[in-house]
Amino acid sequence: MEHLAIVVLAAGMGTRMKSKLPKVLHRVAGRSLLGHVLHAAKDVGAERAVVVHGPGHDAVQIETRKIIANAQLAEQTERKGTGHAVMQAEAALKDFAGTVLVLYGDVPLISAESLRKLLAARGSNTMAVLAFEAANPFGYGRLITQGNKVLAIREHKDASEAERQIRLCNSGIIAINAADLWKALAKLKPANAQGELYLTDVVEHVNAAGGTAVFATCDEAETAGVNDRVQLAAIEAEMQGRLRQRAMLNGATLIDPATTYFSADTKIGADVVIEPNVYFGPGVTVGDDVEILANSHIEGATVANGARIGPFARLRPGAELGEKSHVGNFVEIKKARIGKGAKANHLTYIGDAEVGAGSNIGAGTITCNYDGYEKHLTRIGENVFVGSNTALVAPVSVGAGANIAAGSVITADVPADALAMTRADLVQKDGWAKRYRAMKAAKKAKKS
Round to whole Å and give the CA distance between 385 and 99: 63
Alpha-carbon separation of residue 214 from 32, 144, 152, 200 (angstroms): 31, 11, 10, 13
Say whether 380 sits in a helix, a strand or coil: strand
Round to whole Å and give the CA distance between 55 and 26: 17
Return the amino acid letter for 7.
V
Round to whole Å and give the CA distance between 64 and 51: 7
Burial (Cβ within 10 Å: 0-12, 13-18, ≥19) of residue 198: buried
Element (H, E) at 28: strand 27-28
Alpha-carbon separation of residue 10 from 13, 103, 444 (angstroms): 9, 9, 76
Round to whole Å and give the CA distance between 269 and 304: 10
Residues 6+ apart with CB under 8 A from 359: 339, 342, 343, 380, 381, 382, 383, 384, 385, 386
Give the residue from 364, 366, 293, 311 showing the smallest Cα distance to 336. Answer: 366
Round to whole Å and give the CA distance between 84 and 86: 6
The catalytic residue among 3, 39, 156, 346 is 346
Alpha-carbon separation of residue 120 from 49, 168, 242 (angstroms): 19, 19, 25
Give the residue from 297, 281, 376, 378 showing the smallest Cα distance to 330. Answer: 297
Vertex 432 angle, CA 430 and 433, to 5°: 115
Q: Please report, in angstroms and rounded to a whole number, the separation of the first and last CA atoms in the chain.
A: 97
Give the residue from 157, 149, 156, 162 showing the smallest Cα distance to 203. Answer: 149
Alpha-carbon separation of residue 415 from 47, 310, 379, 380 (angstroms): 56, 31, 12, 11
Ramachandran bin of 172, using left for φ above 0, alpha for ψ from -120 to 50, beta for the remaining angles:
left
Ramachandran bin of 79, using left for φ above 0, alpha for ψ from -120 to 50, beta for the remaining angles:
beta
Active site residue 326: no
Active site residues: 346
